[in-house]
Structure 1
Amino acid sequence: MHIFGGTVAEAAARVADPAFVAECAERYAGSYGRLPGEAEQRSWSRSWPALLRILSAAELGDLHLLLEYELPGTSKRVDALLLGHQAAGHPAAAKGLTSVVIELKQWTHARPHAAGTGLLQVGDRAVLHPARQVGGYVNYLTGWVPAELDLEVEGVALLHEAPPDLIAHLRNHLSSGPSATYPVLGAEDLSPDAAPHVLAERLRCSGLRPAAPEEITTFLAARHRPSPKLLTRVAANIAGSESFRLIGEQDKARQMIRKAIDTGRGTYRGHVVVVTGGPGTGKTAIALRLLGDLCGLPDANPRLLSPSATLTQQLSRAAGEMAKGLISTWTTRLPGELDTDRSVVLLDEAHRARTDRAWRRTEFSDALAKLLKSCAVLVLFLDEGQIVRPGEGTTVDELRRMAACEKYSFARIDLPTQFRCSGSRAYMDWLADLFSPGGHPPRWGGVNYDLALVDSPVQLEEWVAGHIRRGHSARITAGYCWPWDSSPEPPLSPEVSISWSDAAGEHLWKRPWNSKADRLIAGEGVPGRAFWATDDGGQHQVGCVYTAQGMEYDYSAVILGKDITRTAHGWQARPEESHDAPLKGLTAREYLPYGLNTYRVLATRGARGTRFYSDDPATQQYLRTVLPSAPS
């Protein structure tokens, strides 16, 4: 997908007309179902004229230009992509097309980021170095464009407003390594007074000639698939990761799932495999190892999807940069270029899938039905007890009926053994009893899991800080019972506010929610939301179910809000106390299962121990009857 395709000269003739950006915005909306934001359109209006002046000055007007070209199999977009042929005499002249990835930046300043050489601080944002960004795009295209196209890929970053000192700093910042091969050019390098051949050389376009229209058509129509070389690298990287070693029942389940997949691939019209298991049974680890297995199969074209952006970003980082496109977030849009006879799609966290009945044309989820019809085998990893929103999730029964209706084969595999929470079956059973509507768990007396109640959020924080000092991971989470209006960038507002009284008087504790920023680092000492559970600094913010679900850390501190309170009649829901928009308007009876599931999820993140605290005095008193007090 792209929002403009034509020659550089055609774009240059139109870019001064405000209608050009408006038309591109409409084409964007036609593809994505929404208009681009005002900031993005302003960026186009500033960068496109500068780019086209430079390309015109380099006498590249006959080359084919794609603006906002979406990389196959992902939602990532290249700012501009030039296509042409190398002139006779060039080593690549006998090959197919040459493409030049162009990343556009309007920066005038940037400074190093404490997190590492690949990141920069631009204003209050942590951003990827533009050369690394270009390198990622080049590697991605190299790994996904069909080999028969013989595509040569180059790349360059254009900072058309950047002064010489900034460019020198950026070049020095990545003076060695793979990313150093991609030029970073500033205003001085891009002067239209330079000779055309000099500009073309700087742009990595020296010797490029127009490609035939049919070659452009072939490039745009080509089915983009992961190359065997890329799949082999991904498989090796996953197999070598200690984080995804499988033991005992997990590896047995992996083999059973492989058998079910092999049965379905190329045999049936469609095949559904449902893998069920509670928190800590290894669903995500098994899914990633299966992706590695599938990458090694002949004619492989697998995908690992999840409705959780937090989980997919974590998995992508674990699997490596080369796994982009193989691992992605899924809402309702289908991944590109799947095969209905060979492709296997693994859908982790299927209980987070958007399956709202308002979007259904039949009794079944349109999104899941389309996903199933796009591949040979669909493997869903599911825990019905982790559905925390209306309009999300599915059940084993619904999936079985959907498969029968479509005449697909169906298999179910259960993961009975859990490895989180010190492997304590007693804790999981106790927790299930605690968070059932009328459950009456016995007082906790287990010895293989560190579980207790604290008297204040201050004690929660001190407990977490103590474990962090000893080198463990620990986090605080809470029900979504406080406003969340803070800016994504620091300073974050301390919106989680709890007051209480004791013999020493009145107290107030306030802390911020995790950042909403959708990137690795939100700001100094603050990770982006997807990395709150794993990266340093997350211990200073409070996470919610959407940033904790699918994650694991050593020690978990859980704050129960006033949306779920304990009375003599069991748990009662108070939806008016929730600030979670999708739950607004539910009756107390409708809200209760979602609220209980939310706290069940939060209470199963800690591998070694959990501490509870309730903001509701009556609930806190009830918890004293079933939990020991935390040691002072």
Structure 2
Amino acid sequence: MHVFEGTVHEAAARLAEPGFVARCAARYTAGHGRPPGEEELASWENSWPALVEALGAAGLGELQLLLEYELPGSSQRIDALILGVRAGRLTAVVVELKQWTAAAPHPAGAGMLRVGRREVLHPARQVGGYVTYLTHWVPAELGLNVCGLAFLHNASADLVGHLREQTADGPSSCYPLLGAADLPLDAGAAQLAERLLCTGLEPADRSSIDGFLQAHHRPSPQLLSRVAVTIGGHDGFRLIGDQDKVRQVIHRAVRAVDRKAPGHVVVVTGGPGTGKTAIAARILGDLCLMEGANPRLLSPSGTLTQQLARAVGDSAKGLIHTLTTTLPVGLDKDSSVVLLDEAHRARTDPLRRRTQFPNLFTRLIQGCAALVLFLDERQIVRPNEGTTLDELQQLAETYGYTFAHIDLSTQFRCGGSRTYLDWIDAVLSAGGPAPTWRSRDYDLAVANSPASLEDWVNARIHDGHSARITAGFCWPWKSSPTPPLLPEVSHSWHDGTGEHHWQRPWNARADGILAGTNTPGRAFWATDAGGHQQIGCVYTAQGMEYDYSAVILGDDLTWTTNGWQAHPEKSHDPALAELTPHQYLRYALNTYRVLATRGARGTRLYSTDPDTQAYLHQLIHPDDHGRDTATQDRQ
């Protein structure tokens, strides 16, 4: 996908036409299902002419130019890609365009910058990622040579110099940073071409360009080997006991790709903490070592895929992918094994579906040799998501696919307490009521206020543990994506000492790592420093774990003498806004089950509804009903 392809001369002619950028925007919209943002349009209008003018002055008008070229297997786009032939080899020059006039250092180090209120990669690092990615995904038989640079056409010489200093000693130093002063239009063509890394670059013939554009992209053996080594050495992906047994069972099921069936479906079911994500990552590493491998690890959760990508490193880009409604590029029906973690979060639109089975899964299995889904039906938290084991088995039978089911029973979170998982499942079931909690194998109690929840979390953090507070989506969420965040999660209560009020912000909605703010981006709220100072929701907590979990049950779910009652009007989640109470109840119970199963060592619960709070006290240490929670926490 790209918005323009033609020679540099043709690009110059098109840019002189008033409607060119608008036509590119229409092409972008048709390909992505959404229009480009205003900032992106402004960058096209400002940056494209500067690059094309420099290329023309360098005598490179006959070279092929692609604008907004989308990387294979990725949603990331290269601003401009120049194609030509040098010494008989097809060559691609990656150009990252910036219209910056200022950029500030970032506390995270040389790889990051602050531009206005945005946190961005250093341009040289960004270029390096694109070059590496193309090198490892374009088929080797094309013999593609890739290099790259960044062109900051509005930047002063001082700014460019400061940016160069930040990468002087690192691997990104091999990717030039050019400002307007480095590409004066009155310089000789040869000098400009050299600085643009285009010396000796001749126009490529049409067949070579088509070969590049139409090539079936897949990860290189070197890339797969590197990812396999990284995963194999990562402590977070080590498997023990039943987890490793399940890994072997999955391998046996996946080997069914050698059979003559049109497809193969493997479903791995398991509750929270059974190790589904660790198993999926480890199997990805195993698959990377197989001859002719072309695997993918997908998840509908952007939080989970960003965490996995950070753990495995930049080399896994394209292999680990967030699944929305678009399938990853480069799948192969004969060799690709797709691992779909958090399959219960997949956008399957069960209420609006026009086909018997989820179209997303049908397209996935038709595009790969084997599909392995990791599933927990009780973690479906939205009406447009989810599937079931029965539905997946019926899909396989209908299409003639082989089918295997593996159930994970051993639990590794919540201190390994099967008792706690069974208890919380019973508590958060529509049937209710649940048995009284009397076990000693997990640290569980009821807090008497949000303030005591926070004190408990802070004490756990002080002791060197990880701890977080989560809540139901019962408060507005209107803060800007980055700090300062509004304290929108709030609650007032009365006790023997008087009236009290407590408020805290939701986690940040921005992606990335907001270093220097003590506020992580949403994908890293559960793991990075400062996250305990914001309140997480189900979308940032699902798939993650921490040592200690504090959960606020909001007024959308209350306990009565008739059992659990749902109140969708109390929810601020737009995904659930139009549900009836009966429909909403399932998702509310599942949401709080997810939140209540994140803590590996202990959990504290608090409800903003007095009757529900009394019910929790009745279930958990009923003999201590009314006792101050701080006293419980000291035990």
TM-score (norm 2): 0.97
Q: Does residue 210 of structure 1 match 2:212?
A: no
Deviations 1:360-392 (A, max 9, x none): 332111111111111110000000010011020
Aligned mates of 2:423, 2:258 — CA distance in 1:
41
Partner of 2:106: 113
Change (3 A) 1:33 1:265: farther
Deviations 1:23-78 (A, max 9, x none): 11111112112221222111111111111111112111111000010111111100
Question: Which 5+ residue runs of structure 2 have no aligned equivalent?
Answer: 622-628
Partner of 1:97: 90
Deviations 1:65-94 (A, max 9, x none): 0001011111110000000011xxxxxx13
Aligned mates of 1:279, 1:265 — CA distance in 2:
33
Q: Is the 8 A contact 1:558 1:613 kept in 2?
A: yes
Q: Does residue 493 of structure 1 match 2:486?
A: yes
Q: Is the 8 A contact 1:359 1:365 kept in 2?
A: no
Q: Secondary structure at the match of 1:455?
A: coil
1:172-211 mapped onto 2 (5 Å cutoff): 172-211=165-204
Instruction: Supply the AA of the counterpart residue of 1:383.
Output: D
Instruction: Supply the AA of the counterpart residue of 2:520.
Output: P
Percent of pairs with identical residues: 64
Q: Residue 191 of structure 1: CA displacement? A: 2.0
Aligned mates of 1:522, 1:388 — CA distance in 2:
30
Instruction: Supply the AA of the counterpart residue of 2:206.
Output: P
Q: Residue 520 of structure 1: CA displacement? A: 2.7
Deviations 1:508-544 (A, max 9, x none): 1111111111223277222111111111121111110
Aligned mates of 1:274, 1:263 — CA distance in 2:
14
Q: 2:421 aligns with which of 428, 434, 442?
A: 428
Deviates more, 1:270-279 or 1:506-515: 506-515
Partner of 2:578: 585
Instruction: Supply the AA of the counterpart residue of 2:157.
Output: P
Partner of 1:61: 61
Q: 2:234 aligns with which of 213, 225, 241?
A: 241
Partner of 1:439: 432
Partner of 2:48: 48
Aligned mates of 2:295, 2:33 — CA distance in 1:
26
Q: Secondary structure at the match of 1:109?
A: coil
Partner of 1:631: 633
Partner of 1:255: 248
Aligned mates of 1:266, 1:64 — CA distance in 2:
44
Q: Secondary structure at the match of 1:612?
A: strand
Aligned mates of 1:533, 1:57 — CA distance in 2:
51
1:224-623 mapped onto 2 (5 Å cutoff): 224-357=217-350, 360-521=353-514, 524-623=517-616
Aligned mates of 1:415, 1:358 — CA distance in 2:
29
Q: Is the 8 A contact 2:415 2:441 kept in 1?
A: yes
Aligned mates of 2:128, 2:258 — CA distance in 1:
35
Partner of 1:74: 74
Aligned mates of 1:454, 1:322 — CA distance in 2:
44
Aligned mates of 1:359, 1:2 — CA distance in 2:
32
Partner of 1:4: 4
Instruction: Supply the AA of the counterpart residue of 1:591.
Output: Y
Q: Residue 224 of structure 1: CA displacement? A: 0.6
Partner of 1:90: none
Q: Residue 146 of structure 1: CA displacement? A: 0.4
Aligned mates of 1:12, 1:190 — CA distance in 2:
17
Q: Is the 8 A contact 1:514 1:541 kept in 2?
A: yes
Q: Is the 8 A contact 2:350 2:386 kept in 1?
A: no
Deviations 1:432-458 (A, max 9, x none): 111011322233222221111111111
Deviating above 4 A after TM superposition, structure 1's stretches of 4 or more consecutive aligned residues are none
Partner of 1:23: 23
Deviations 1:127-170 (A, max 9, x none): 11111110000000000000011111001011111111111111
Aligned mates of 1:123, 1:34 — CA distance in 2:
25
Question: Which 5+ residue runs of structure 1 have no aligned equivalent?
Answer: 87-92
Change (3 A) 1:33 1:358: farther
Deviations 1:329-349 (A, max 9, x none): 011111112111221000000
Q: Number of aligned pairs?
A: 625
Give the alignment's Cα RMSD to 1 decimal.
Answer: 1.2
Partner of 1:89: none
Aligned mates of 2:260, 2:450 — CA distance in 1:
56
Q: Residue 265 of structure 1: CA displacement? A: 4.2
Q: Residue 266 of structure 1: CA displacement? A: 5.0
Q: Residue 257 of structure 1: CA displacement? A: 0.3
Aligned mates of 2:20, 2:227 — CA distance in 1:
41
Deviates more, 1:68-77 or 1:38-47: 38-47
Instruction: Supply the AA of the counterpart residue of 2:72.
Output: P
Q: Secondary structure at the match of 1:498?
A: strand
Aligned mates of 2:258, 2:596 — CA distance in 1:
38
Instruction: Supply the AA of the counterpart residue of 1:135.
Output: G
Instruction: Supply the AA of the counterpart residue of 1:127.
Output: V
Aligned mates of 1:266, 1:72 — CA distance in 2:
29
Partner of 2:625: none
Q: Residue 234 of structure 1: CA displacement? A: 0.6
Q: Residue 196 of structure 1: CA displacement? A: 1.7
Q: Is the 8 A contact 2:456 2:633 kept in 1?
A: no
Instruction: Supply the AA of the counterpart residue of 1:31.
Output: G
Q: Is the 8 A contact 1:438 1:569 kept in 2?
A: no
Change (3 A) 1:265 1:608: farther
Change (3 A) 1:265 1:487: farther
Q: Is the 8 A contact 1:266 1:376 kept in 2?
A: no
Q: Residue 359 of structure 1: CA displacement? A: 5.3
1:141-152 mapped onto 2 (5 Å cutoff): 141-152=134-145
Deviates more, 1:415-424 or 1:22-31: 22-31
Change (3 A) 1:47 1:217: same
Aligned mates of 1:183, 1:488 — CA distance in 2:
32
Q: Secondary structure at the match of 2:559?
A: strand
Q: Residue 117 of structure 1: CA displacement? A: 2.1
Aligned mates of 1:523, 1:303 — CA distance in 2:
34
